[in-house]
Structure 1
Amino acid sequence: MSTQVEHHRDHRWHRFSCRANFERSAHDFILDAAMRSIDDTGRFRLVLSGGRTPRRLYASLRLAQTDWSAWVLYFSDERCLPENDPHRNSRMAAEAWLDHVPIPAGQIHVIPAELGPERGADHYSRQLAGVDTFDLVLLGLGEDGHTASLFPDGDWESAASWPDAIPVQDAPKPPPERVSLSPARLSRTRQCLFLITGSDKREAVDRWRAGTGSPASRIRANAGVDVFLDLE
């Protein structure tokens, strides 16, 4: 269980006393969202985050008791690397989780970032054209404040409107070329859950809470945004 839940800026901030409680609660949050969505609509549209934080969480989902045939998966962002590069978010998720459960292959929508940022974003935007609202979006937060591949002061911030997926040409972390879902597309969701771990994220969390232009502040959800924190 979380040690503290605080409501601030239309978000619910959950602070955990240890990593085990953090991961168990995130696991339960995802499965509760899946159960409700499958009961309501017969499917569960989930957007996956990359990075280090969710790897053990994804592995824990291998043994979940759920109707895997109802799960439809998307990705929040991807690095422009070869398809099987170990640094791709899709490869991490496959190795930790997706290769071990019977989700139909046609329901796992990987970003074709190997095509490069412009073509990859265009292809993924077309894949998403017929997709209505996601059921749950998982996101993280970098020590520099980025979420998905939306970095502070990136070109995306000056755009008047966004397609569903946007090319990233100059990410300050390698690799510089990426594809990211836009803030508007990430916000078309019933629920959003941020998973944030590590003491190196404290300053980024503080900037976000203070409202000082964090990319994470652009993300909304129909039922509000939940933020799980283990910053020890």
Structure 2
Amino acid sequence: MSKHIEVLPDTGALIQRSLELVLEKLRQAIAERDVATIALSGGSTPKPLYEALAQQDLPWDKIQIFWGDERFVSHDHPDSNARMARQAWLDKVPLPAANIHPMPTDDADPVDAAAKYDRELRQFFNLDRDEIPHIDVMLLGMGDDGHTASLFPHTEALQVCDLLATVGNKDGQPRITMTVPIINESRTIIFMVAGENKQNALSHVFSPNPDTSTYPSSLVHPEHGELWWLLDQAAGANLPQA
């Protein structure tokens, strides 16, 4: 694993550095494989990144969009991660509709929805049952409780290793989330973390022997890919690396 920790002066610098890194990795993937795959995160932190990506000149037909997690709401709901990404970025560039792969949330049962996304991933990447795809860019955030994607502390989703997508649980509310194995097989993982309220969780995640069940972000440690922690000064102020 190649691990990098950068503490940026403010959120503006965090977004700019994230943009540089995402563009570099997307272009590298296209140059090497003629396609780039990226899994998006939700929340407020990445929205300015998506707005910046909407201004870029990229070979959009070669970029495939996935999501790391999604709230179990309709795609036009204000809380939808897909809706946010479409409004900030995807609807503003000539991305073919077939290149956008939102998590299904119209099923009555979230288990069925997660299984449907698992099948879509396996079909897109042409996988055998026991194979895990290598997504080029995995964007992640971290909550002040240490969760990432919809992998929340002390939930069953943390233990799921035989699926690519499963049901996450946020205070009894279902989510759809990619699982730890597919996240860790990504070629490049980028955490974007902002805010003073993240300091405590970061101190636990970066400790020598983190409690992975209590701080799920510490489960992210790719064996082969790159791991980037991009923090603003407020989040990273108390880290030894800062």
Using the size of structure 2 for normalisation, the TM-score is 0.87
Report the Cα distance in structure 2 between the residues aligned to 1:13 and 1:26, rounded to whole angstroms: 12
Q: Detail structure 1 runs of 4+ shifted over 6 Å in the superposition.
A: none
Indicate which of 27, 33, 52 corresponds to 2:19: 27
Q: CA deviation at 1:167?
A: 1.2
- Secondary structure of the 1:177 match is strand
Q: After superposition, what is the alpha-carbon deviation per residue over 1:123-182, rounded to whole angstroms, capped at 9, x for unaligned?
A: 0000011323111100000011110000010012344x33110012x312xx71111000
| 2:178 equivalent to 1:177 | no
Q: Which blocks of at least 5 consecutive residues in structure 1 are unaligned?
A: 1-8
Query: Secondary structure of the residue that 2:170 maps to in structure 1?
Result: coil
Provide the alpha-carbon RMSD of the alignment.
1.5
Deviation at 1:33, TM superposition (A): 0.5
Q: Which amino acid aligns with 1:163?
A: L
Q: How many residues are paired up?
A: 220
Amino acid at match of 1:126: R
- Residue 163, structure 1, aligned to residue 163, structure 2: yes
Partner secondary structure for residue 57 of structure 1: helix
Query: Which residue of 105, 108, 120 corresponds with 1:113?
Result: 105
TM-superposed deviation, 1:10: 5.8
For CA contacts below 8 A with separation 6 or more, give which structure has more relative contact order. 2
In structure 2, distance between residues paired with 1:124 and 1:135: 18
Alignment of 1:1-232 (within 5 A): 11-115=3-107, 116-130=109-123, 131=125, 132-159=133-160, 161-168=161-168, 170-172=169-171, 176-210=173-207, 211-213=210-212, 214-221=215-222, 222-232=224-234
User: Any idea what the Cα deviations from partners look like across 1:20-60, whole Å, max 9, x if unmatched?
Assistant: 21111111100000111110000110010111100011001
- Tell me which residue corresponds to 2:129: none
Identity %: 28
Q: Residue 239 of structure 2 corresponds to which residue in structure 1?
A: none
Structure 2 residue aligned with 1:5 = none
The amino acid that maps onto 1:207 is: H
Q: Does structure 1 retain, via aligned residues, the 8 Å contact 2:166–2:177?
A: yes
- Residues 202 and 231 in structure 1, CA contact (< 8 A), matched pair in contact too: no
- Cα separation, 2, equivalents of 1:181 and 1:188: 11
Deviation of 1:217 after TM superposition, in Å, equals: 1.9
SS in 2 for 1:95: helix
Q: Which residue of 2 aligns with 1:3?
A: none
How far 1:215 sits from its partner (Å)? 1.1
Unaligned runs of 5+ in 2: 126-132, 235-242
Contact 1:49 1:76 in 2 (8 A): yes
